[in-house]
Amino acid sequence: MFDAEKFIEEAKAQITNQVKEGRTIIGLSGGVDSSVAAVLGHSVLSDRLVAVFVDHGFMRKGEEEEIIKVFQERLGMNLRVVKAQERFFEALKGTEDPEKKRKIVGKVFIEVFEEEAKRVDAKYLMQGTIAPDWIESSGGIKSHHNVAGLPSGMVLELVEPLRDLYKDEVRIVARALGLPENISERMPFPGPGLAVRIIGEVTPERVKIVKEANAIVEEEIKKAGLMPWQAFAVLFRDKSVGVKGDIRDYGHTIAIRAVESVDAMTAVAMDIPWGVLKTIQRRITGEIAGVTRVLYDVTDKPPATIEFE
């Protein structure tokens, strides 16, 4: 049986032993792993831990406000919010290929993060790495790394207090640390965020549509008491035909995806009650201008992936 209190004490002792002097930086996304690592780090290092939230513009609705409320206002963490939306949009302009989009988001993210690491003269990089991140699916273990170099040549020592935990254990620790439910039970969300939930080019207008649709999906799923591994909205590239009054009109198509899983390696499309799906559809087409069609993805993983691209 996993003992969260014991883990918390041991993790704190490990951080105390490893981090001797200077500042530690952590990228805080609001996801449960980075949140738990940051709270553990903060409890030992106090203001010597600098949490950086890079707002790339592809976060879910209200996410930035939630993060500021929990980590800065409630927990008193040394949090820096970097608003970098325009940089990301500019870098992504005209890019449609999913892997290129991922690479661009990753590259700009590192640039922004590196600027912050330099600004605060960080010596250590704390990360919410958990066991499945470094254990290969075959059971083999990837070579251990304990220094993280940033592109500028700046070398930071890695601090990874959650290395031996699995997701369910991280959630237990999050609850034991008193983190609010919207963090401890938060659904996994890809690093590039909504940028990979928009098929094709990412524009501010398309982000707005998928953000609203996603918020409706999450709200209605929660209201219905459902607990999927992930549930979200995706915006299709092509428009499909719809009707506006008595004329045919081309509108956006939104797909809803909700899956059950234990580790994201495989997943099953969730059996969502028809009434919940219809409420989501009515709200999306009623509240978001220009959306005329809503689909539900019934495909398991495999053969599909969880995300659409």
Q: Which residues make up the interface to ligand XMP (CB under 6 A)?
A: 102, 188, 190-192, 196, 230, 264, 301, 305-307
CA distance 125 to 41: 11
Report in angstroms how near the CB of residue 230 gets to ligand XMP at its nearest.
6
Please report, for residues 31, 35, 166, the alpha-carbon distance to residue 42 in angstroms, rounded to integers and kept in the order given: 16, 10, 21
Report in angstroms how near the CB of residue 10 gets to ligand XMP at its nearest.
27
Report in angstroms how near the CB of residue 3 gets to ligand XMP at its nearest.
27
Q: Closer CB to ligand XMP, residue 213 or residue 306? A: 306
Number of Cβ within a 10 Å radius of residue 254: 27
Q: Closer CB to ligand XMP, residue 228 or residue 251? A: 228
Q: Closer CB to ligand XMP, residue 33 or residue 220? A: 33
Q: Is the dihedral of CA 229, 233, 238, 239 positive or negative?
A: positive
> Token match 């919010």: residue?
81
Q: Closer CB to ligand XMP, residue 39 or residue 306? A: 306
Q: Closer CB to ligand XMP, residue 102 or residue 175? A: 102
Q: Closer CB to ligand XMP, residue 166 or residue 279? A: 166
Report in angstroms how near the CB of residue 280 gets to ligand XMP at its nearest.
19
CA nearest 228: which of 150, 162, 280? 280
CA nearest 125: which of 41, 24, 21? 24
Q: Closer CB to ligand XMP, residue 22 or residue 188? A: 188
Please report, for residues 22, 81, 120, 195, the alpha-carbon distance to residue 191 in angstroms, rounded to integers and kept in the order given: 28, 16, 23, 9
Report in angstroms how near the CB of residue 44 gets to ligand XMP at its nearest.
26
Report in angstroms how near the CB of residue 135 gets to ligand XMP at its nearest.
15
Report in angstroms how near the CB of residue 120 gets to ligand XMP at its nearest.
24
End-to-end C-alpha distance for the chain, whole angstroms:
38
Cis peptide before 228 (omega within 30 of 0): no
DSSP letter string, 194-216: GGGSBSS---HHHHHHHHHHHHH
